Structure 1
Amino acid sequence: MVYTRKDVGTLTSSERRRFVDALLEVKRRGEYDEFVRTHIEHFVPDGENGLRTAHMAPSFLPWHRMFLLELERALQRVDASVTVPYWDWTRDRSPTAAPWTEDLLGGNGRRFDHQVMTGPFAHRNGRWPIREGVTDAGFLTRDLGRARDPVDLPTWRELEWALSDPVYDTDPWDSTVTGGFRGKLEGWGAGQGEASWRNHNRVHRWVGGAMVGGASVNDPVFWLHHAFVDLQWSRWQRRHGDARYLPEQPPPPADGQHGRIVSRHEKLPPWDVTPAELEDHSHLYQYA
């Protein structure tokens, strides 16, 4: 049966409670930390050797679509009614509105160490210890808006800049591309500060704390953010008709990206699935 992912701001109190409870149970079972480890393992930057799948590559969108599906399946093993909501950061831009409420994800971190003190994921509640990360902090951290070096959430106009590009991705298929929907949505740019982070990347920076870097899955907002990113891929597909994932074929052996990216019909690690097989989600879920 096809299920629906909803805007987090429209969830009923019961839907909020069920989503939070399912996340906490997946964490208690030890499954959640596996998701964190998987993202860290596949967060391979341009400058490193080896295959890039999760970021700085064409497979950014299908990789995270599959990642979301895996988390959603884990949640539904706890409560079959739960789906991952999405956070529309072009509209819900206040650090005190959904999803930053007491009954959802809690609010900002405190000033001196950014530890989240409110909501169900606060360390003092004892149900969300950080075990996998790039620092030794055992608690969830946030720095919404980055008070010391402010950054704004992306606007609808900036998102439209990505959606209007009719080409999925372009050579050299990494963080340096200047055209293509994937690159513009993922958000690597030239320059310093806010100018170098666009759309998806800037949201990670705006949330700050745990959301910066490979261990960003430690903040549950990761899933709401990526559900909205996934929705944009769906919208781009509807707008541009026959446009498909690129590259269609692997780069040739002489190309610097040979063996470093996944083409449309190659398997997408760590799963036995191709980007082509993930382009259509209509048989699994829809967006409200």
Structure 2
Amino acid sequence: MSIGDGIRRNIAQVEPSERASLRDAFIELNRRFYPGTRTDGVPGDVSFWFKQDEIHQSTHVHGGPEFVPWHRIIVNGIESLIRDINPALSLHYWDWTQDPRGIPSSNMGSGMAGNLNLFTPDFMGYGGPTSAPIGEPWLSAKYYDPTAALHRDATGNPADPPKIVRRFVVGAPLTVDVDNDIVNAPNYPVFRYLLEQAHNMMHGFVSMGGSHISFRDPFVFLLHSNVDRLFSRWQTDPMHPERLDPATIYGTESGEAELNGNVEPWSTGHSFDPFGDEHFTRPWCAPENLGEPFSYKHANVVSPPAYDTNLTAPLVG
């Protein structure tokens, strides 16, 4: 395997140096900022990292046909930001049939295989059985600030850090049989239901504080890269070319309004969250107005990214 080839792989199988580079890119995301100031009418000066939590809180969707493609877009988006930092990187995935606290036969470097724990201060931070702060390397990277007088849960301002980001790991990963049921689903409605149920269980296994704040935790992107991997695997079944066609991929749900309207916040920056609250999200709304309207049938949404488990899609970045 070659770093820089654009392929998303099992995070346990890439070189330790590449895992470290991915960690460093995540840290750098919190040192780069969108335009404006925190006191603007629509807050600016939000770091590239905290923007992910803002996006997720203002627009995330669950329990419907758009759940799977919406999360593909946010995963693709952060991979693009990471590649602006280090073009050789890809957003690799955690295979949720493996226990992240001890993945056997992992790439330990120098041609050695061993048991890999993803939850160490060198990579993803804390992963114990009781709820606790995620710690290093994220505390020093200011992914949260226990001393913050202004923190987002009090101010509601996305430019402010969380006061704490907690995590715990209790239970067991999913079985290969669960994954097989997902990728062998006969149509999109069955597929996306099974995939979201598996996703929900793994959010329970690796608890990141609840669905509305989980995008404050970098591990959430390894989990969601795996969600998208299974989507890509399902799409690239050579017996089902219709799954690569924007007009037919969603099957009987193709006519649903959610799949044919604007995808937010990237279309206009104007959205409503699952609680009915209105949001404006820069830079897609004013004053930058960088939004470009598109639906879930856009080719860039339907086209599967390059994963090492794709069946027919070209393995290119």
**Class of the TM-score when normalised by the shorter of the 2 chains:** 0.7 to 0.9
Q: How does 1:236-251 map to 2 (within 5 A)?
A: 236-239=234-237, 241=240, 242-243=242-243, 244-246=249-251, 247-250=253-256
1:103 aligns with 2:102: no
How far 1:153 sits from its partner (Å)? Answer: 2.3
Match of 2:65 among 51, 58, 63: 58
Q: Deviations over 1:99-134 (max 9, x none)?
A: 2233211232584x51224x412x2x3532165459
Describe the shift of the 1:28–1:281 C-alpha distance in structure 2 as closer, same or farther (beyond 3 A).
Answer: same
SS in 2 for 1:202: helix
In the alignment, the residues of structure 2 paired with residue 5 and residue 64 of structure 1 have an alpha-carbon distance, to the nearest angstrom, of: 16
8 Å CA contact retained: 1:2, 1:286: no
Q: CA RMSD in A?
A: 2.6
Amino acid at match of 2:166: T
Match of 2:278 in 1: none
8 Å CA contact retained: 2:20, 2:122: yes
Match of 1:142 in 2: 167
SS in 2 for 1:142: strand
Query: How many pairs does the alignment contain?
Result: 234
Match of 1:262 among 249, 259, 270: 259
Runs of 4+ in 1 over 4 A off after TM superposition: 130-137
Describe the shift of the 1:13–1:95 C-alpha distance in structure 2 as closer, same or farther (beyond 3 A).
Answer: closer
Structure 2: 5+ residue runs without aligned partners? 33-46, 104-115, 146-150, 244-248, 267-292, 310-317
Question: What's the TM-score once normalised by structure 1's chain length?
Answer: 0.73
Describe the shift of the 1:95–1:138 C-alpha distance in structure 2 as closer, same or farther (beyond 3 A).
Answer: farther
8 Å CA contact retained: 2:30, 2:141: no
When structure 1 is superposed on structure 2, of 201-210 and 1-10 the one drifting more is: 1-10
How far 1:267 sits from its partner (Å)? Answer: 3.1
Match of 1:81 in 2: 88
1:31 aligns with 2:53: no
Identity of aligned residues (%): 24
SS in 2 for 1:143: strand
Describe the shift of the 1:98–1:228 C-alpha distance in structure 2 as closer, same or farther (beyond 3 A).
Answer: farther
Match of 1:17 in 2: 20
Amino acid at match of 1:108: G
Describe the shift of the 1:88–1:132 C-alpha distance in structure 2 as closer, same or farther (beyond 3 A).
Answer: farther
Question: What's the TM-score once normalised by structure 2's chain length?
Answer: 0.66
In the alignment, the residues of structure 2 paired with residue 156 and residue 24 of structure 1 have an alpha-carbon distance, to the nearest angstrom, of: 32
In the alignment, the residues of structure 1 paired with residue 153 and residue 6 of structure 2 have an alpha-carbon distance, to the nearest angstrom, of: 32
Match of 1:183 in 2: 193
In the alignment, the residues of structure 2 paired with residue 262 and residue 281 of structure 1 have an alpha-carbon distance, to the nearest angstrom, of: 17
Structure 1: 5+ residue runs without aligned partners? 44-53, 146-150, 170-179, 188-198, 251-258
Match of 2:132 among 107, 110, 114: 114
SS in 2 for 1:275: coil
In the alignment, the residues of structure 2 paired with residue 93 and residue 14 of structure 1 have an alpha-carbon distance, to the nearest angstrom, of: 18
